[in-house]
A and B are shown apart, each in its own frame.
Chain A
Amino acid sequence: MPDAEEIERLRLEFQAALAAAATDQALRAVRDRFLGRKGGVIASLMKAVAGASPADRPLLGTLANQFKNEIEGALDDRRASLESGRPVAGGLDVTLPGRQVPIGHLHPLTQVRQQVEAIFSRMGYEILEGPEIEDDYHNFEALNMPPEHPARDMQDTFFLGQPVPQRGLGTPGTRVSTRPAPPDRPATLLRTHTSAMQIRYMEAHEPPVRIVAIGKVFRRDNPDLTHTPMFHQFEGLLVDERVTFADLKGTLTAFVREIFAPDIRVMFRPSFFPYTEPSAEMFIGCVFCGGSGCPVCKRTGWLEILGSGMVHPSVLEAVGYDTERYTGFAFGTGIERVAMLKYGVDDIRLFYENDLRFLEQFSF
C-alpha cells in the first residue's frame, strides 16, 4: 500500500530524472514515465490510493494530487527553459537598426533659454518677452543714455526706415498693473538689449519687481566667429527695499553654479554700464582649461559671463520710483555666450544656419 513515505521516495526519483533530462526527447521520456496514462507512476499511484482504506484515503489523495501538480509544473518549467534558448522559425537579425518615430530637436538656444527660465522662476522671477522693435525712449533715454551719450556707441543700433506702430502692447507680464499706462510711442529701432522691457515693466508696476526679460536683440555687427547682428539676451531686474550688491553676488553665483557646475569659481570686477552704478562684470573659472589658462580664456583662467550692477538711480527716477526707499540690481548676458561655453560651440554663426547636423547634436 502506498503511504506518505512512498510518495516522498517517488518525488526524489522524479527530481533525479528531471535533472538528468537535458533534451526535449529526454524530457518527453520523463513525462511518459511519470504522467503516462497507462503504467505511469502517477496513474499507478492514483489507482493505489483509490484502493486505500477509507480512513487513509483523504490524506493520501491530497498528497498524490499535490505530487502530480508538482510534476506537471516542473516539467512545463523545464520545457520552457529548454525552448527559450533556441530561435523560433523566422528569427531576426537583432543587430539591424530599429525603426524610430522621427523626433525633432529643440534649438540649443531654446534649451539654454528654458534652463535659464527654470532657474529664475524658482527664485521667484517673472519671465517676460517684450517687443523686438522699440522706441528710443525705452531703449536708451530711460536707461540713462540721452542722445549723444558715448555709451550708445557700445550698442550700435539698427534704425527702422520708418516708424512702426506699437499698438496694443498692453501691460507686460501677468501681474496686475498698478499704474496708468504710458502713451504708446511708435517704434523706431530694433532693441539693442532687453533692458527696454525692464522700463516698460517698472512703468506699469510698483516694487517689489523681480523679472527676467528674455529674447532677441540687435546690434550692427558684421557676422564673424563671435558676432552676429542678432543675438539673444536675458536680463534680470530686482527692485525692492534693502537690496544690496551682496544680494547681486549671491543671486548670480547661484545662477552660474546651477547652469554650469556646482563648484565653479566666480569673480566680480568693476565695469561700466550707463544703467547701473556700481557696475560689475562677472567671470567664471574657465570651463575649458579649469583655470590653468588656454587660448579661449586668453590664458587668464577666467571667462566673462555676465554684466551686472546696482540699478542706476536715474533709471529708477525715470519710472518714478523713490530712490531712497528702493534699491535694486540688474544683470544680463547673451544666451549664445552661455550656450557656446556650455556646449563648446566655437562659431556663433552656427546658431543661425540651422544645419541639422548641428541641431541634432543637442539631445532634446
Chain B
Amino acid sequence: MKLIASWLRELTDVRLPVADLASLLSMRGFEVASLDPVPEGPLAPRPPTRAGGDDANDAVIDFEITANRPDCLSVAGLAREAATACRVPLRLPWDEAGRPISSVRAVSAPTPTRVVADGLEVTIEDADLCPRYAAAVVEVTIGPSPEWLANRLTAAGVRPINNIVDVTNYVLLEMGHPMHAFDLERLAGRQLRARRARAGERLCTLDGEDRALEPDMLVIADGSVPQAVAGVMGGAHSEVWPGTRLIALESAYFTPASVRRTSKRLGLKTEASSRFERGTDINAPVVALERACALIEQIGAGRRVGAVIDVYPSPRGPIDVTLRRQRIAQLLGTTVDDAEVLAILTGLGFDVAETADGWSVRVPTMRVDIVREADLIEEVARHHGYDRIPSHFPALHATAPRPDPRMARKTLLRHRLTSSGFSEAVSYTFVDEADAAPFVAGDRALVPLAYPLSEKFAVLRPSLLPGLLESVAHNRRREHRDVRLFEIGACFSTAGGEQHLVAFAWTGACVPEHWSGGLRLVDFFDAKGVVERIGEALNLPLVFTDLTNGYLVAGRAAAVSVGKTAIGVLGQLAPGQSEARGLAAGDEIYVAELDLDALDRLAPTADTRAESLPRFPSIVRDISIVVEEGLRSERLRATIRGVAPQTLIQIREFDRYKGQGIPEGRYSLSLRLTFRSPDRTLTDADVQEAMERVMEALTREHQAVQR
C-alpha cells in the first residue's frame, strides 16, 4: 500500500516528519518497504494551506499490510492508526456530517434481493457469494481527471485512465472499498445480476483476455451474459469508454473465500480482488457510492440520477466483544491504564462501554480481524508499545523429559562419519523422476508432487543417493577429486510413507594426497569399514551378504543386515549411474545406505557394561592356507569357531594372496588366531592342540592346504 503522506494529513492532524510517520506506523505493525519522494506536480485540489512546508515534508511510503488488516489497504485506515498513535482526531470526508457509517439509509427493496429504480434493475441471485450489492446511476461526461487527482493515483501506483475510472480508484485508495463502473447502455435489459457463472460462459476481461468461467465463480451479468468477474475484474464490453453517457456504479460486498478462489483459479490478482479476498467492510458500499458521486460532481464529471440502490437482504451489524482488565495483564505481563485502553480503542473506531471488570467493545464491521478478546488485547498492546512490555523469564513447572534417543543416535552417527572423513551434505527432498527411478526399492513406488516447481523437483526422493551423487558430481566439476559426503534425512514411498536413512558416497583418494607419497584410491573395503564403524557405534553386529541390485556393480555389492532384518546396501556404483551424472565411468564411487528407523528399533538401549581387563597373557598363532577361490572368508571363520575352544578370542585375516606360487583358481589366506583364558595362563600344548583341530577341520570341510 503506497501512502502519500500529504493525503493522510488531509484526514488527520498528524504533523510528524515523514520519516517519523513511517517509523510510528512501522512500530504498530505496518512494515515500511520503501520511502520515496513524491513526483512533481500538484497533489491536492488546493495548495496546502498550512505554512511550514508540508510539501517539502511529503513522501510516498510503501507499507506492507499484513493479511489480517484489509482496512489498512487505504489512506483512511492508516490515518486512523496514525491518529490513534498521536491521540489526535480523525476527519473523514464522508463523515463530515458527523454521521456514523452504519446509519446511512438505503432505498428499501420491494423484495429482499431485487430492486428496480432509475432505469436500473439489480438482483442478487447468489447471496452466499454476494451478501450486498449497491449501485447508483450517474450521468457522466468522460474526460481526463484533473491533474492533482491523476497525480495522486500515479504516486500511489495506479495508472490514471479517465475521470470516472479514476474516481473509483481514488475511493478504493482512500476508503479501501473497490468499485466498478459499467456503461449502463451496454447492459442488456439494463440489468445487473450477481450470480454464479453458467457452464460454458466466457468473458473477455478489461485486460483483453478471453477467460473461461467456472460454475462456482461469481459474475456480475446483465440480462443475458456476464459483464464482470465479481470483485476481480470488469468485462471489456461494458467498459467505460469516451462515448459513455450513463454509468451504473457498482459498490458491493463479495464473500472473501469466493473472490480468493476465483482470483487464484483465473491467475488474476487486482487491487480489488486483493481487498475483497481479505474482507472489506460490508457496511461501506453505500458510503463509498456517496463518496464517489460527491467526487464526480466535485470534478465536474457528472451527477447522480436518483437514489442509491442497495440490495442487502440480511444486514449485518457490528459485534460486541468483552475485554477484561485482568486478562490484559494476564496475557501481556504488564498493566495498562484504563484511560490508555479507552483512548486506544476509541481512537481505532471501537465503541467502548465500561463494565464491572472491564469493557464491552463494539467492533465496527471494517475490522474483520477482531472477533475475540485476544484480538482486542493485541490492539491495546500494539498502541501501548511492545517496547514498554517488560522482559521476564517464565517459571519452570516441570522438568524436561529425557531427550529422544533417536536424535542422540543421529548425533552419534554424525560424529562417526565426520571423524571418518565425511562431510555432511543436505540435499533437496524432491528430485528428478529419472534420477530417482533406479533407487526405488522392490515393491515400492515414487511419491510425485502434484504441481512441482520443475522437472528437477518432480518426486519425493526414495533414497538419499540421487542427491548425494548430484553433490559428488558438483564437486568433481569443481576440481575436487576426492569427495566424501554423507547425509542423514527422510525419504519417501507410497507404501512406506516417511523413512529416515543415512547414506554416504566416497570417491577419489582413500587418504589425502601427501608429499610422502603412498596415494591409494578408495576401494570396497574402505567403504565397508565405514559401515562397520556405524554398526560398532550402535552396538549392532552387522552381516554382509552378496547382493545384486540395479545400481551397484555385481560382485562389489553387499546387502547389510542385522540378524534377519535387512538394513541397507553397500557397494560400488554402477558405471552407468556415474555416466548419467556426467562423471567418468572409470572413477570408482562407493556408496552405502542404511535404514535408520530399523537401526533405531534394533539398537540396544541398555548402558554398556564394563568388562574386567584380562589377567592372563594371550598366545598368538598364525596359519596360512590355500583354498578354492569362491570360498567366503566368513565360512572359514565359522569352521574355525566351530572346532576351536572357548579360549579362541580373535580371528584376524592378515594376508590374502593370489598369483605366483599359488595354483590357478585358488588363493592363499593367512589368519592370526589369538587365544586367552580368563582364569589361567595357557600353555603351548593347549594352543597346539587347538591349532591342530582347526587345521584338520579346515582341510576336511574346505580342502584347505597348509602352506
Contact = CB atoms under 8 A, between A and B. Distances in A.
Interface of A: 96-97, 99-107, 109-110, 114, 121, 124-129, 131-133, 147-148, 150-151, 153-154, 158-162, 164-167, 173-175, 187, 190, 208, 210, 216, 218, 220, 222, 229-230, 238, 240-247, 249-251, 253-254, 267-272, 274, 277-280, 310, 312-313, 327, 351-357, 359-360, 364
Given A127-B404, A354-B471, A208 B378 contact: no
A245 B474 contact: no
Contact of A357 (B428, B449, B480, B511): B480
Nearest to B420: A104
A338 to B, nearest CB: 15
Given A100-B512, A150-B67, A249-B391, A174 B421 contact: no
B448 A355 contact: no
B424 A104 contact: yes
A103 B421 contact: yes
Contacts of A106: 414, 418, 423-424
A246 B334 contact: yes
A96 B515 contact: yes
A354 B400 contact: no
A152 B2 CA distance: 24
B331 A355 contact: no
B450 A245 contact: no
Contacts of A254: 393
B374 A246 contact: no
A153 B426 CA distance: 27
A269 B449 CA distance: 37
Interface in B472-522: 474-475, 478, 480, 483-486, 489-490, 492, 494-495, 497-498, 511-512, 514-516
Contact of A267 (B387, B460, B485, B495): B387
Most buried by B among A106, A129, A241, A277: A277
Q: What are the 3 tightest A-B residue pairs by CB atom distance, in nearest-first order?
A: A246-B333, A244-B333, A270-B29
B398 A150 contact: no
Contacts of A162: 447-448, 494
Contacts of A359: 423-425
A314 B430 CA distance: 33
Given A104-B418, A242-B330, A127 B447 contact: no
B401 interface: yes
Contact of A208 (B397, B403, B452, B489): B397
Contact of B425 (A151, A354, A357): A354
B447 A164 contact: yes
Given A150-B260, A161-B447, A246-B390, 17 more contacts: A99-B516, A110-B414, A133-B492, A150-B278, A151-B68, A162-B447, A240-B394, A245-B332, A245-B333, A250-B393, A269-B31, A270-B382, A278-B331, A278-B332, A279-B378, A354-B427, A356-B423
Nearest to A241: B397
Given A148-B261, A164-B497, A159 B478 contact: no
A102 B421 contact: yes
B418 A105 contact: yes
Contact of B483 (A105, A268, A356): A356
Contacts of A274: 68
Interface of B: 26-29, 31, 66-69, 256-257, 260-261, 277-278, 330-334, 372-375, 377-378, 381-382, 386-387, 389-405, 407, 411, 414, 417-430, 447-453, 457, 460, 471, 474-475, 478, 480, 483-486, 489-490, 492, 494-495, 497-498, 511-512, 514-516
A187 B573 CA distance: 33
17 contacts: A103-B418, A104-B486, A133-B460, A158-B450, A159-B450, A166-B497, A167-B497, A229-B457, A230-B430, A245-B334, A246-B390, A247-B392, A250-B392, A270-B27, A272-B67, A354-B425, A355-B475
Most buried by B among A127, A129, A165, A246: A246
A124 B393 CA distance: 12
B67 to A, nearest CB: 4
A250 B395 CA distance: 11
A327 B330 contact: yes
Contacts of A103: 418-419, 421
A277 B498 CA distance: 33
Contacts of A356: 423, 475, 480, 483, 485
A190 B382 CA distance: 34
Given A150-B67, A162-B448, A278-B378, A247 B418 contact: no
A173 B447 CA distance: 27
Nearest to B480: A356
Given A251-B393, A270-B28, A357 B478 contact: yes
A240 B395 CA distance: 9
A353 B474 contact: yes
Nearest to A218: B429
Nearest to A161: B448
B331 A244 contact: yes
A256 B453 CA distance: 34
B69 A247 contact: no
A127 B410 CA distance: 13
B471 A353 contact: yes
A131 B497 CA distance: 10
A333 to B, nearest CB: 16
B484 A104 contact: yes
Contacts of A165: 495, 497
B475 A354 contact: yes
Given A104-B417, A133-B492, A313-B372, A148 B260 contact: yes
A244 B332 contact: yes
Most buried by B among A96, A102, A151, A242: A102
Contacts of A218: 429
A310 B392 contact: no
A173 B494 contact: no
Given A165-B497, A353-B474, A154 B67 contact: yes
A174 B605 CA distance: 14
B407 A132 contact: no
Contact of B393 (A121, A153, A247): A247
Given A249-B389, A250-B394, A174 B401 contact: yes
A271 B378 CA distance: 10
B426 A109 contact: yes
Contacts of B378: 270, 277-279
Contacts of B374: 277-278, 310, 312-313
Contact of B426 (A251, A327, A351): A351
A151 B381 CA distance: 22
A314 to B, nearest CB: 8
B478 A355 contact: yes
A159 B447 CA distance: 11
A246 B421 CA distance: 46
A247 B419 contact: no
Contacts of A190: 429, 449, 460
B396 A124 contact: yes
A267 B386 CA distance: 8
Contacts of A277: 374-375, 377-378
